[in-house]
């Protein structure tokens, strides 16, 4: 039996990378999906791919910072599929990369809004729907950056991703008695379009890969499997965690 049979999930940032891989995996495991990102054509391709594989998904394109989008995603899950069980709040951006004295206020705010405030807006709508369902699983994409490692030039990104861990802890404490679990995955470097913005030469890739105990980066599918675990009943007693899926980069000194 599929791990998520009869479940409904929201996936943000689903047009590429970790979000897309996770949406496909959750659908293969039986979940019905509401997916979102800014690029409508990429979302339409994803929905069509899921349908060809026998799954069911609906797409709503928009800006994750929009409060109206957060509400629309939940409303669609309830209206179209009868409720909400899982939310993977994954959308994010590297944002403006600069040392702290050179980082603009606008760049700081945009990164915080996209990576942290949008997750709060999503959770604010998702939690009541999950309580109506008798419980559910919230999963957020944080990062080892800002948790165990500080990379120069990523102050806003690190602060936002660290903030997600704090948000997860409070959500877990507030709604655990209602059956709602909240966890964050902390991926290491992953072969995604976002990573390509930082790793644009063979030399930079070799340097990044060398930081990991496994001496390689992750595939999006590997990260997706960690989300599936936290979303499923296999993690029924797991909540409030910062779940490192980082190939050992946080502990490696070799």
Mean of pLDDT values over 133-140: 98
157 is catalytic: yes
pTM of the model: 0.96
Banded model confidence at residue 107, pLDDT cuts 50, 70, 90:
very high
pLDDT tens, residue by residue, 4-14: 999 999 999 99
d(CA 203, CA 195): 14
- 169 pLDDT exceeds 90? yes
Mean of pLDDT values over 173-189: 98
* Mean pLDDT taken over the chain: 96
Residues in Cβ contact with 28 at an 8 Å cutoff, skipping those fewer than 6 apart: 2, 53, 55
d(CA 237, CA 249): 26
Domain contains 249 = no
Strand 136-141 with 86-89, pairing:
parallel
- 205 pLDDT exceeds 80? yes
Domain contains 43 = yes
Indicate which CATH number applies to the domain containing 202: 3.40.50.720
pLDDT tens, residue by residue, 22-35: 999 999 999 999 99
What is the extent of the structural domain holding 143?
8-241
Which of 108, 157, 175, 243 is catalytic? The answer is 157
Measured from the Cβ of residue 225, the count of other Cβ atoms closer than 10 Å reads 13
How far, CA to CA in Å, does 63 sit from each of 83, 91, 220? 23, 10, 22
Domain contains 57 = yes
pLDDT tens, residue by residue, 43-92: 999 999 999 999 999 999 999 999 999 999 999 999 999 999 999 999 99
Domain contains 187 = yes
Domain contains 1 = no
- The number of distinct structural domains making up the chain is 1
């Amino acid at each position: 039996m599929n791990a998520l049979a009869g479940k409904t999930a929201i996936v943000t940032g689903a047009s590429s990378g970790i979000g897309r891989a996770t949406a496909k995996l959750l659908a293969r495991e039986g979940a019905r999906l509401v997916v979102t990102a800014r690029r409508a054509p990429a979302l339409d391709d994803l929905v069509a791919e899921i349908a060809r594989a026998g799954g069911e998904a609906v797409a709503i394109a928009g800006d994750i910072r929009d409060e109206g989008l957060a509400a629309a995603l939940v409303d669609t899950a309830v209206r179209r599929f009868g409720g909400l069980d899982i939310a993977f709040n994954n959308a994010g951006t590297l944002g403006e990369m600069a040392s702290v004295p050179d980082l603009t206020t606008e760049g700081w705010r945009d990164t915080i809004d996209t990576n942290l405030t949008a997750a709060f807006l999503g959770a604010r709508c998702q939690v009541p729907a999950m309580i109506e369902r008798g419980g559910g699983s919230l999963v957020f994409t944080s990062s080892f950056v800002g948790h165990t490692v500080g990379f120069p030039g990523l102050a806003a990104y690190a602060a936002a991703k660290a903030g997600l861990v704090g948000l997860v802890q409070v959500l877990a404490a507030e709604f655990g008695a209602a059956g709602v679990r909240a966890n964050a995955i902390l991926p290491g470097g992953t072969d995604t379009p976002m990573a390509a913005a930082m790793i644009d030469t063979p030399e930079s890739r070799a340097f990044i890969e060398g930081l990991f105990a496994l001496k390689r980066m992750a595939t999006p599918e590997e990260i997706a499997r960690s989300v599936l675990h936290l979303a499923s009943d296999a993690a029924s007693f797991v909540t409030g965690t910062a779940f490192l899926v980082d190939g050992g980069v946080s502990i490696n000194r070799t």
